[in-house]
A and B are shown apart, each in its own frame.
Chain A
Amino acid sequence: MLATIVVEDSKCPDPLACRKCLLVCPTRVLGLGTDVGPQKYREIDPEHFIVRGVREQFCTVCMKCVEVCPNGAIQVTVEGGVPA
């Protein structure tokens, strides 16, 4: 069963500096990228960096990324819900 991972970008201002979710994920499900692609002659501002779920087949729904996020930006859901 594939988990669905949603990141609210407005609550995640500088993921490259924070990177807590990237480090805590035991299977490297999450990926860091930008929403603008490669930019010639300029550096990309921190707010354009984003985190997404990209290898969901390895998500165990352990919720570590949800717990570690200081801003509550990550939601992980799975069909049928998560056991309490």
Chain B
Amino acid sequence: MCVWCERYGEGHERWYLNPANYARRLYKVRKDEPEAAGAEGNPQAAGGMASMGRAFLEARERGDLETVERMRKQAHDIAWGIHFGQVITQEELEQILDIIYPIGLMTCACRRSMRGLPDEENFTCMGMGPGMYKWERWPDTYRGGVHFLTPDEAKQVLNTLRSRGLVHTLFTFGTPYLAGLCNCDYPDCAAIRTAVDVDVKVLWKGHYIAEVDPDLCNGCGLCVRRCQFKALSFSPSTLKANIDPLQCYGCSLCRDVCKPDAIRLVDRATLPALAEIW
């Protein structure tokens, strides 16, 4: 069972299908964030992005597992309380678009930090909920401005981003309040990087896992390049696509491009060994 659904679902099937979790003002949390002090120049802190510092990398490097685990736990405690994300499927996204309002298309802070992407090329992120009305208070967070969208317009934009190969994710701003609908890829999303590179779960896997039906797979390999989580490979032995269920985040991007419809999503909860692997 997903701990967030348990704590914050309030009878809804998933915690992010509970409208109450979209209802808080967006930036209330900022006051309490230690990084707002900006004492030391630090790109992670400046971008508000959870990532791990040099001390963590050095502990990993020298094989100091005790320190690594302690720092990982600290990072989890902070991220899960304030700002972390979870992958969602297209079907779930469509349900969420019926709940959230307003929806503001904005520039992506991760790609700005990773690539210095100019604002006009960088409108891939969405802010949601009443906090968005106050976006002008934070000119740098919202560099390039905000385009408010109707749910139908948002759906169109999200479909375009998805066809480009970006993964839909939801992010909390003061857990359990969800205020970010991001569209992410490896290696330019700080959350995917932190989760995949150093196993610090600032991004949780989704509730589903993709499976390939080898009898239907025609071996075209189109799905392989859609995976942003290093879960999909093409097997030269069987000439079929291969999905690693332990690595799969359940975003369903691979399924989008499968012409013979050989990929389906199964609920993580139906696989006992994976049910708690987030």
Please report A residues at the B interface, Cβ cutoff 8 Å: 1-2, 9, 15-16, 18-19, 22-23, 27-28, 31-44, 50-52, 54-58
Query: Bound complex: CA of A51 vs CA of B38, how far in Å?
Result: 15
Q: Are A50 and B43 in contact (CB under 8 A)?
A: yes
Is B7 positioned at the interface, with any CB of A under 8 Å from its CB? no
Q: Are B137 and A33 in contact (CB under 8 A)?
A: no
A78 → chain B closest CB, angstroms: 12
Interface size class of B (residues with CB under 8 A): 35 or more
Interface core residue of A16, A36, A37, A42 (most chain B CB under 10 Å): A37
Q: Which residue of B lies closest to A19 (CB)?
A: B116
Q: Is the interface of B mostly helix, strand, loop or mixed?
A: helix
Residues of chain A lying within 8 A (CB to CB) of residue B245: none
A22 → chain B closest CB, angstroms: 5
Known: A34-B46, A37-B46. A43 touches B41 (CB 8 A): no
Residues of chain A lying within 8 A (CB to CB) of residue B3: none
The 8 nearest A-B residue pairs measured at CB = A37-B38, A33-B43, A19-B116, A33-B46, A35-B41, A31-B43, A34-B46, A43-B139
Residues of chain B lying within 8 A (CB to CB) of residue A54: 43-44, 51
Considering only residues 46-81 of chain B, those with a C-beta below 8 Å from chain A are: 46-48, 51, 54, 57-58, 60-61
Q: Are B115 and A23 in contact (CB under 8 A)?
A: yes
Residues of chain B lying within 8 A (CB to CB) of residue A19: 115-116
Is B36 positioned at the interface, with any CB of A under 8 Å from its CB? yes
Residues of chain A lying within 8 A (CB to CB) of residue B116: 15-16, 18-19, 22-23, 32
Q: Which residue of B lies closest to A22 (CB)?
A: B116
